[in-house]
Structure 1
Amino acid sequence: MGKKYHLFEVFGIELEYMVVQKSTLKVTPIVDALLTKKNGTLTSDIENGEIAWSNELVAHVIEIKTNGPTANLNDLSNHFHKNVVEMNTILQSLNAQLLPTAAHPFMNPNTDTQLWKHSYSEVYELYNRIFNCKGHGWSNVQSTHINLPFYNDEEFEKLHAAVRIILPLIPGLCASSPILEGKKTGFKDTRLEYYKTNQKEIPEMTGKVIPENVFTKKDYYTTIFEPIQKAIKPFDTNNLLDHHFLNSRGAISRFDRNAIEIRLVDIQECPKADIAICTLIIEVLKMLVSEKTSTLETQKNWDKEPLFAILNNAIINGENTEILNLDYLQLFGIKENCTMQQLWQHLFNLVKNEICLEYQKALETILTQGTLATRISNALQDDFSKEDLLKTYEKLANCLQNNELFTS
């Protein structure tokens, strides 16, 4: 295990992108070719200064992440953007490019999925045998992960309590997956709708997405890890799978590196939007941990079921979700019903002085024009012809290349 850090001392951010053909936007399983061109020989991980590149479960998705923990969020948007431009330059020679958002708008996972065939592939093959990884929930999901450190049980308790409280609100800020297979799905965050059930064969792995209210390492093992290990045993006869990876809740506690990883954030149209969203989530978590609007004991008392009910509505309605649970709103110092958009605006107002101007501007666009899912839907105006989808998603690819927010 590496160095241990205290709360909010450093951060780890991971972004996932699809590789698609330039002219048709069809998913293209050539991440191995991209990594080979960059490195000279095939490797699954490349360190590129501040940022590292790596493969994912499927051969058309690439992950870029902070190369180890970083204390500086303000420069991250630029670091990520430089790597996006470099990847697109390499991909240009393969007639391909990166595409943002959490779900491809017309991919057919049954015909278009290719699993990664190189290092670590035996683990992916096992996952495929158990879960059939050809569904949208496996091969058409791109997310942003936020890793936050804790030093000991006392810090874990505070961070886990705060993270559990904020999880239901995340789709109201960053849903970006309203379309699958050329149709509007009825969910602003279709990625998370699949996330809830894509491991239904072993329900212990995802649970209720919101982690159980456990606040020590010992209780976490007893309540979450041990049931997972027991449930997977009949499938994992060669002991390939690590319980830290098997835990698929919306926030997973990584005691192997003393961090909590938040996994409910849909990837946006550009790093500026992603890091702005991560920064806002982190600042709200700091506020909760410091007990400014509610006590630690009040936060710890919340069971997963009422939190999951709020999350479930947000997966459908995004920022338009009406929050009627007054006890929940009081955790943030709000006394009457409001929408998620209004709640995020309230939270932004409370913490915005801690956020750099560039990210403030990005967040103002999101909070006034709506989640990316809403902006995509508005741009399409119920026209889901292939031509219109191509036009809109080409614009999104340009937003990624130029690090600009998408406005409809």
Structure 2
Amino acid sequence: MILHKSPYKLFECVGIELEYMLVNQKTLQPEASTDKLIIKKHGAITDELENGLISWSNELVLHVVELKTTHPVKSLDGISGAFHANVEEINKLLAEDGVMLMPTAMHPFLNPLKDLKLWPHHRNEIYEQYDKIFNCKGHGWGNLQSMHINLPFANDDEFFKLHEAIRILMPLIPALSASSPIYEGNIGPFKDNRLNFYELNQQKIPAITGKVIPESVKNKKEYEEKILEQTYKAIAPFDTDNILQEEWLNSRGAITRFDRNAIEIRIIDLQECPVADIAIAELIIESLKWLIKRFDIIPYFSETELYPIYRTALEEGSNGSIENTSYLKLFGFVPDQEISIRNVWKSILAEVRLSPESEAAILNILTNGNLSERIVTNLNSEKPSIENIIKEYKILADCLKNNRLYTPRQ
């Protein structure tokens, strides 16, 4: 996501990125053909092509394509439709080869040792270096499709407020957005299995991911000292050619890109359709605005305090409970209460205003569960067969094709 004007002010614009899997229409097996898709559209290999409001680009692996707003947009109005139009165009191009896009944050039966093929074209030296150090043949590298939200800041004061608000909201996000209940053909132990793999994929060098929730820092200088310099130092013995010593090496769940004065939130699982993705983005943005309006009364929370809430959301989903009374008080709950994360989101939703389309999508989540929970409900089995998983994920692919919400079946 490139910010072409610098600096944008706080909430002046937003950039959205969505990652989709390419799969066989019949079997849903992953199809390593993103480069072929780009050639069909562009006539030649490129790592990014503009298609009006939305651009297409490659990712680490060949069965994933990223769609993103070409430039930062002032409003999310109409963005769901723009993403959907590009989904329709891509599906039309892919249909010639019996391939289609599939949503959700993890492929339900991908074999990482057999099915993952790395992008071999432009900038592949970066991917090769990651593979050399961490071995990218794993779910934490090649099976984790997400939405990224990019939000700008104009100066250190705006950075501090935005960064703190994001840190505080981050622990709640997995309970809202989890869409990765199944991998390797089985229901996983957590509601958001993608984020569990995300946390482990660079454990060889723990400083890179930290506690996922970033440390509290007041300005660019402190961020560089406490976060960036520590990651560069930790990877230096493994990255002797300095290929990875850039801001994007930091793999916390929200990373600051001072090269474009923006913070990128990365812990949001991809949903069933753009309507749902944009609804979650809208709720997160409006929640951050609400928190920043109350910034003077927000207490300090260390990443160590926030991390257990984040893990509860990741593991238990919307029904997970929060016990941290200081954190709950921030959202209007009295001490000595144990509150579900679902109810915290309901409390936040009562304080913000969303578009009617987004509010309906959020109410679907808060009423029926996050996408992981809805998928498991509809499968109605602790050990669903591959045939039933394929059937269910074809329904999800149909939701993507029609930009339609996925709901429980009675």
For 2:221, the equivalent position in structure 1 comes to: 218
For 1:188, the equivalent position in structure 2 comes to: 191
Is 1:41 aligned to residue 40 of structure 2?
no
Within a 5 Å distance, the mapping from 1:9-408 to structure 2 comes to: 9-291=12-294, 295-296=295-296, 298-299=298-299, 301-335=300-334, 336-351=337-352, 354-382=353-381, 383-408=383-408
Encode CA deviations 1:271-316: one digit per residue, 9 max, x unaligned.
000000000000000000111xxx44634x1100110011011111
SS at match of 1:58: coil
For 1:5, the equivalent position in structure 2 comes to: 8
Quote the Cα distance in structure 2 between the aligned partners of 1:117 and 1:243. 21
SS at match of 2:57: strand
SS at match of 1:388: helix
Encode CA deviations 1:203-249: one digit per residue, 9 max, x unaligned.
11000101011121010001001111111111222221243110000
**In the alignment, is the contact (CA less than 8 A) between 1:178 and 1:373 conserved in 2?**
yes
Root-mean-square deviation (CA), in Å?
1.0
**1:389 corresponds to which letter in structure 2?**
I
SS at match of 2:196: helix
Quote the Cα distance in structure 2 between the aligned partners of 1:404 and 1:260. 29
Deviation at 1:3, TM superposition (A): 2.1
Encode CA deviations 1:347-378: one digit per residue, 9 max, x unaligned.
11110xx3111111111111100100000000
Name structure 1 gaps, 5 residues minimum: none
**In the alignment, is the contact (CA less than 8 A) between 1:161 and 1:296 conserved in 2?**
no
**In the alignment, is the contact (CA less than 8 A) between 2:320 and 2:340 conserved in 1?**
yes
**In the alignment, is the contact (CA less than 8 A) between 1:275 and 1:359 conserved in 2?**
yes
**Stretches of 4+ aligned residues off by more than 6 angstroms:** none
Deviation at 1:162, TM superposition (A): 0.3
SS at match of 1:57: coil
Name structure 2 gaps, 5 residues minimum: none
**In the alignment, is the contact (CA less than 8 A) between 2:6 and 2:261 conserved in 1?**
no
**1:120 corresponds to which letter in structure 2?**
R
Q: Cα 1:296–1:246, aligned 2, differ >3 Å: closer, same or farther?
A: farther
**2:402 corresponds to which letter in structure 1?**
N
Deviation at 1:85, TM superposition (A): 0.5
Quote the Cα distance in structure 2 between the aligned partners of 1:384 and 1:2. 50
Quote the Cα distance in structure 2 between the aligned partners of 1:278 and 1:148. 11
Quote the Cα distance in structure 1 between the aligned partners of 2:126 and 2:32. 19
SS at match of 1:220: helix
**In the alignment, is the contact (CA less than 8 A) between 2:106 and 2:143 conserved in 1?**
yes
SS at match of 1:196: helix
Deviation at 1:65, TM superposition (A): 0.3
**In the alignment, is the contact (CA less than 8 A) between 2:321 and 2:340 conserved in 1?**
yes
Percent identity, aligned pairs only? 51
**2:345 corresponds to which letter in structure 1?**
W
**1:374 corresponds to which letter in structure 2?**
E
**1:22 corresponds to which letter in structure 2?**
Q
Quote the Cα distance in structure 2 between the aligned partners of 1:242 and 1:388. 44
Quote the Cα distance in structure 2 between the aligned partners of 1:171 and 1:13. 18
Quote the Cα distance in structure 1 between the aligned partners of 2:157 and 2:401. 42
Total equivalences in the alignment: 402
Quote the Cα distance in structure 1 between the aligned partners of 2:207 and 2:171. 20
